[in-house]
Amino acid sequence: MAGRRMPRPSEVLPLIGRPDRSRTALQRRLERCASVWDVRTMARRRAPRAVFDYADGAAMSEASLARSRDAYRRVEFTPRVLRDVAQVDLQVEILGQRSALPFVFAPTGFTRMMHHSGERAVAAVAADKGIPYGLSTLGTTSIEDLANACPDARRWFQLYVSRDRGSAEGLMRRADETGYDTLILTVDTAVGGIRRREVRNGLTIPPQLRLSTLAEMARHPRWWFDVLTTEPLTFASLSSSGGTVGDLLTRVFDPGVTGADITWIRENWSGKVMLKGIQSRADAELAADLGVDAIVLSNHGGRQVDMGNVPLELLPEVVAAVGDHVEVYIDGGIMSGTDIVAALAFGARAALVGRAYLYGLMAGGEEGVRRVAEILEKEVRTTMQLIGTRTVAEVRTAEVRLRGRP
Ligand SMILES: Cc1cc2nc3c(=O)[nH]c(=O)nc-3n(C[C@H](O)[C@H](O)[C@H](O)COP(=O)(O)O)c2cc1C
C-alpha cells in the first residue's frame, strides 16, 4: 500500500470554493433549491404566514389538493431504453401557437401580495420561456399595464363573470384590444370555496394592519417594506374589496353563469375560449357541444369544492370522449416536471401550474419564478429522455398507469 503524504498547498487551494460574485446571494440561494418543494420551503420562510397560507392552502379539509398531488405520486411509467434520446423537443402547439414548453402559468388572484413584482414578474418569465400566462380577473396589475410591461408574453385573460355583465364585457373588450389571445372562463367558482386558513389567519383583502400583524412585520420586514413602499396592493380590475377572497367571489360574481353564456362570450370576444374547472365527463361533453376551443380539467387546485374528483384520474376518459373536438388541459397538484410528463402521457395537451410559480414568486420575485421554470423544464426534459421519448407526441403514446388502478 502506498504511504500517506501531506498534500501540497497547490493541490488543496483549487478545491476551496470561492464565492461566485457574478450571481447575487438570492440567485445562489435559489440555485441550491433542487425541487419546487425546496422553493416552497424558501417561500415559507420569506413570506408572512397569512400570505404563504393564502397561496399554499385549499378549501375545507384540503383533501382535494392532497389527492391531486398524491395521484402524481402513484404514476408509474414503463421506461423504454435503447432509444436515441440525444435530441429532445419540448415544444407543443397550444391553441394554434407553438409553446416552447408543455406548461402554462395559470391565472392566480392577488399575485402582488406574494411579491411586489407580481404579475409582471410572472409574465416576464413566461415571455422568456416562450409559454403562455393567464392574467386573473382578480389580478393586481391591470390588463393594459401588463400588456405594456410584457408585450412579448403570450397573454391570456381569465374571466370571472360579475353580476354586472357590463363590467365583464368591459374587461373582455380591454383584453381583446390589448392582445390577449385566449379567454379562460373559470366555471368552478359559482361561489367562493371555504378556505379555512384564510379565516384562521384573518386574511382579508386588502390585508389589514392589526397588532398581530405588527409582530409578523418584525419577522418579515423585507416583505412589509416592499409592500408599503410600492404601488398599493389592490385589485386592478375590480372596485370591490373587503372580507376574505372567498367572500369576495361570492359577493361579486354571478352564480347564474350557464352554457348559454358562451354565446354572449363569443359576441364579446374574438379570440380562443377555454373553460377552466371542468370536473366530469358530462361537462366535458357539454363544453365540446358548446363549441369552446379548450377545457381545463381542474378543481381549482382544491380551492373550491373539497372532495371533488382527481383531475389526473379523470383525464384518460375525458380525452377519449372529447379529445378530437376540444383541446384538453389539466391542472392541480403539479409540483414537478415528472408530473407534467405524466399529464401528457395520460393525454393532456399541456398542464397549467399555479402554486409552483407562486412559491417562486414568494421565494425571490422574478428570480424565484425563473428558478421554478428552470427546475420544471429540466425535470420535463430529463423524464422524457429517461422514459425513452423525444417529443411530446411520443410522450402521449408512452406506457403509463396509476398504481392501484387497473
Ligand atoms: C393563490 C391562488 C389564486 C388563484 N386564483 C385564481 C383566479 O383568480 N382565477 C382562476 O381561475 N384560478 C385561480 N387559481 C387556480 C389556478 O388557476 C389553478 O387552477 C391552480 O392553482 C392549479 O393547482 P396548483 O396550484 O396545484 O398548480 C388560483 C390558485 C391559487 C393557488
Q: 299-327: per-residue pLDDT in tens?
A: 999 999 999 999 999 999 999 999 999 99
Q: Report the pLDDT value the prediction gives residue 141, as an integer from 0 to 100.
A: 97
pLDDT, average across residues 166-193: 96
Q: Is the pLDDT of residue 186 over 90?
A: yes
Q: Report the pLDDT value the prediction gives residue 210, as an integer from 0 to 100.
A: 73
Helix (H, G, I), strand (E, B) or coil at 37: helix
Q: Report the pLDDT value the prediction gives residue 267, as an integer from 0 to 100.
A: 95
Q: Is the pLDDT of residue 212 over 90?
A: no
In sequence order, the 6+-apart residues with CB closer than 8 A to the CB of 58 are 64, 65, 193, 195, 301, 302, 303, 306
When pLDDT is cut at 50, 70 and 90, the band that residue 62 belongs to is very high
Whole-number average pLDDT of the chain: 94
Ligand 1 centroid to residue 354 C-alpha, Å: 5
Quick one: how many helices (H) and strands (E) in the chain?
A: 18, 12
Q: Is the pLDDT of residue 29 over 70?
A: yes
- Quickly count: other Cβ atoms within 10 Å of residue 60's Cβ: 16
Percentage of residues of the chain with pLDDT beyond 90: 81
Q: How is the chain split into domains, by residue range? A: 34-402
Does the annotation mark 300 as catalytic? Answer: yes
Q: Report the pLDDT value the prediction gives residue 324, as an integer from 0 to 100.
A: 98
Domain 34-402 coded CATH 3.20.20.70: yes
What's this model's pTM, rounded to 2 decimal places? 0.96
- Which set of grid coordinates corresponds to residue 385? 429522455
Q: Is the pLDDT of residue 209 over 60?
A: yes
Ligand 1 centroid to residue 152 C-alpha, Å: 23
Kindly report which listed range (4-8, 42-46, 287-291) carries the lowest average pLDDT score: 4-8
Q: Report the pLDDT value the prediction gives residue 90, as an integer from 0 to 100.
A: 98
Helix (H, G, I), strand (E, B) or coil at 391: strand
When pLDDT is cut at 50, 70 and 90, the band that residue 406 belongs to is low
Residues at CB less than 6 angstroms from ligand 1? 54-55, 106-109, 136, 138, 158, 186, 276, 298, 300-301, 303, 331-334, 352-356, 358
